[in-house]
Amino acid sequence: MNAVKYKKMVNELTPKENRLTNMLVSFIGGGLIGVIGTIIYLNLNKIYNSEDSIAFMLLIFIIASAFMTCCGFADNLFSKLKCALIIPITGFAHSVSSSIIDYKKEGFLNMGSNAFKLAGSVILYGVVSAIILTLIKVILNV
């Protein structure tokens, strides 16, 4: 069998994703997360000022995502809701928590050194893009 026939056979047998359904699920899931975040923020805003309410709301999402990852049912949610959970801060918390869980048998030192294995690129490119956008802002005086 030559390479062209093999590639054609692989393409025929590979399951195709339904992109429209994935986009709709991510859109609705992300909207639902936004609504939940807004409800938490409004309730916290009755007690704290706006900045503290946002910080506590984000902390609640981070803890909830890490807790779901540790309990083992976050992977199922992330595979169903896809970008709705991966893009917000919940995806960052999930990646750090899952890295820590993977290395828990090797001790605290390895857990700490591998904690940002997946999330390190997010931090790196976040900082680099913030620097570039700040430079653009300063140059344009916006």
Distances (CA, A) of 61 to 36, 39, 64, 98: 10, 12, 5, 16
In a domain, 111, yes or no: yes
| Tokens linked to 15 | 């399951």
List the structure tokens of 142: 């916006």
Cα angle at 81 between 75 and 86, to 5 degrees?
70
- Of the pLDDT bands very low, low, confident and very high (cuts 50, 70, 90), residue 142 is low
97 in a structural domain: yes
Contact 70, 101 (CB under 8 A): yes
Number of domains within the chain: 1
User: How many whole angstroms separate alpha carbon 105 and alpha carbon 123?
Assistant: 26
Assigned domain for 1 exists? no
57 within domain boundaries: yes
- Supply φ then ψ for residue 118, to 5 degrees: -85, -35
Question: Does some domain include residue 9?
Answer: no
User: Amino acid identity, residue 5?
Assistant: K
- What pLDDT is attached to residue 77? 83
Q: pLDDT digit string (tens) for 39-65?
A: 999 999 999 999 999 999 999 998 998
| pLDDT digits 0-9 by tens, 77-120 | 888 887 777 777 888 888 888 888 877 788 777 777 777 777 77
Domain assignment of residue 7, yes or no: no
Residue 114 in any domain: the answer is yes
- Classify burial at 102, counting beta carbons within 10 Å of its beta carbon; exposed 0-12, middle 13-18, buried 19 or more: middle
Q: Would 3 be classed as within a structural domain?
A: no
Domain that residue 35 falls in: 14-140
